Amino acid sequence: MAATDNGPIKMRGAGYYSEHTQGAKLVIDAAIPLVLAAVEKMDLFAASPFAIVDYGAADGGTSLALHHALIAAVRARTDRAITVTHTDLPHNDFSALFRLLHGLLPGKPGLGLEAPNLFSFASGTSFFRRIVPDGALNLGFSATAMHWLSKLPATLADHVHAVGAKGAARAAFAAQAAADWETILLARARELAPGGRLVLANFCTDENGFYLGWTGARNMHATFAEHWLALREAGAITDDEVRRATFPQFYRSVAEFRAPFDDPESAVSRAGLRLEDCFTRVTKCPYAAAYAAGQPPSAFARAYVPTLRSWSESMFFGALDPARPEDERRAIIDRFYDAYEADVAAAPEGHGMDYVHCFLTVAKTV
Ligand SMILES: C[S@@+](CC[C@H](N)C(=O)[O-])C[C@H]1O[C@@H](n2cnc3c(N)ncnc32)[C@H](O)[C@@H]1O
């Protein structure tokens, strides 16, 4: 399971995740033409249900529109049953996921995923393992999840993310990311039926060297590091807590994503996976766009920082010494994000979290 020594990775629950991640939904919406093109290429005349799996789905809110489009495309060509399995790690808020899928989340009545002859499942098994039986997958989808590594290969003394790592530490992250990518693909190779497809929208480092939160203006990860190190300067956290605050993540390059496919002798190629499509795309930060359109700085800061918090909070919280009382840890975390918010409100120019993705379509040939 992907976890740090600092406790479980999890998005904030009770629907907070999809409420505060408009950008992630825009990324998934951009993948809709890819899943429709993938279905178009498939032979749908099997007797078994058409099986869709969404890997690392969080509360499921951001991919609802994609699943509606995908189910409609399959249904237009066949009456066979369709299954959708949402997966995530065990600590995910699956209750929020089920409420969302059944249209029961407050404020979102009727906005679920229900259709005739559609069967909904969920799995708390990590995508580093097989989640469905061999040959039982037709269309696998995943967005913004596979940058999480199976383990933290190094800790950083002066940064919080591999984008700021150098030398041996950086090499350790790259090696872990390559091994994890192969593990993920080999598990999917077992799951996919012949002719099945994977459509993946994975965070990456693109051809310009850009990555999430860095497209040439303020660097989000550097800003995280600045505010976390400032807590140490202020005596609020220890050296150990600085080191432990390292994301178990890596933004692979296009070459790193392609490597197992470009080598015909690789285990992935020999398992029958072929890369059909691979391109990068920047999705502009919707919060920064609202500020550029005239939103006051304080309102921008209040809307923007929660989107960072939705996915980063569990890592920073887990880095704090568990011997501290829970209230004290919560207060430190609030102070950290409040400082980030005050920074954005005081000097909003250049802040933003542009998403940088590599979109891949992979086919199973044998
Ligand atoms: C940023 S959220 C993305 C959610 C949704 N797919 C989207 O694009 O909006 C990343 C999700 O990946 C999940 N995740 C991380 N590592 C995972 C693993 N090894 N197996 C399954 N899910 C994982 C996290 O728990 C989290 O819910």
pLDDT reported for residue 2 = 40
Question: Of 144, 310, 313, which is best to mutate to test ligand 1, by the most ligand atoms within 8 angstroms of its C-beta?
Answer: 144
pLDDT reported for residue 3 = 41
For the stretch 46-49, contacts whose Cβ atoms lie closer than 8 Å and that sit 24 or more positions apart, written own/partner, are 46/80, 46/193, 47/80, 48/80, 48/136, 49/80, 49/81, 49/82, 49/83, 49/119
Nearest CA to ligand 1 atom 10: 145
Nearest CA to ligand 1 atom 5: 57
- Residue 1 pLDDT level (bands cut at 50, 70, 90): very low
For range 278-303, the mean pLDDT = 96
143 Cα–ligand 1 center, Å: 8
pLDDT averaged over every residue in the chain: 94
Could you please report the per-residue DSSP string of 17-33?
A: HHHT-HHHHHHHHHHHH
Render pLDDT for 68-96 as a digit per residue (tens, 0 to 9). Answer: 999 999 999 999 999 999 999 999 999 99
pLDDT reported for residue 101 = 94
Residue 75 and residue 112: Cα distance in Å, rounded?
A: 17
- Residue 282 pLDDT level (bands cut at 50, 70, 90): very high
Question: Of 11, 91, 249, which is best to mutate to test ligand 1, by the most ligand atoms within 8 angstroms of its C-beta?
Answer: 11
Identify the structural domains of the chain with CATH numbers, from first to last: 16-155+165-215+248-286+352-364 (3.40.50.150)
120 Cα–ligand 1 center, Å: 18
**Dihedral angle over CA of 145, 146, 148, 153, nearest 10:** 180
For range 17-37, the mean pLDDT = 87
pLDDT reported for residue 15 = 56
Looking at the CA of residue 311, tell me the nearest atom of ligand 1. Answer: 1
Nearest CA to ligand 1 atom 18: 126
Residue 303 and residue 4: Cα distance in Å, rounded?
A: 28
List pocket residues of ligand 1, CB cut-off 6 Å: 2, 9-11, 21, 24, 28, 55-58, 62-63, 87-89, 92, 126-128, 143-145, 148, 311
Residue 243 is encoded by which pair of tokens?
A: 């080191």
Looking at the CA of residue 91, tell me the nearest atom of ligand 1. Answer: 25
pLDDT at residue 299 above 60? yes
Q: Which residues fall within 8 angstroms of residue 82, CB to CB, at 6 or more apart?
A: 49, 50, 51, 52, 71, 74, 75, 115, 117, 118, 119
Question: What are the φ/ψ torsions at residue 205 (nearest 5 degrees)?
Answer: -105, 120
**Do the beta carbons of residue 53 and residue 87 sit within 8 Å?**
yes
Question: Of 28, 53, 92, 247, which is best to mutate to test ligand 1, by the most ligand atoms within 8 angstroms of its C-beta?
Answer: 92
Looking at the CA of residue 9, tell me the nearest atom of ligand 1. Answer: 25
Alpha helices in the chain (DSSP H): 16-19, 22-40, 64-75, 94-101, 167-191, 220-233, 239-244, 254-262, 267-270, 286-292, 297-319, 326-346
233 Cα–ligand 1 center, Å: 33
Taking the chain, what is the end-to-end CA distance rounded to the nearest angstrom? 28
Render pLDDT for 120-150 as a digit per residue (tens, 0 to 9). Answer: 999 999 999 999 999 999 999 999 999 999 9
**pTM for the whole structure:** 0.93
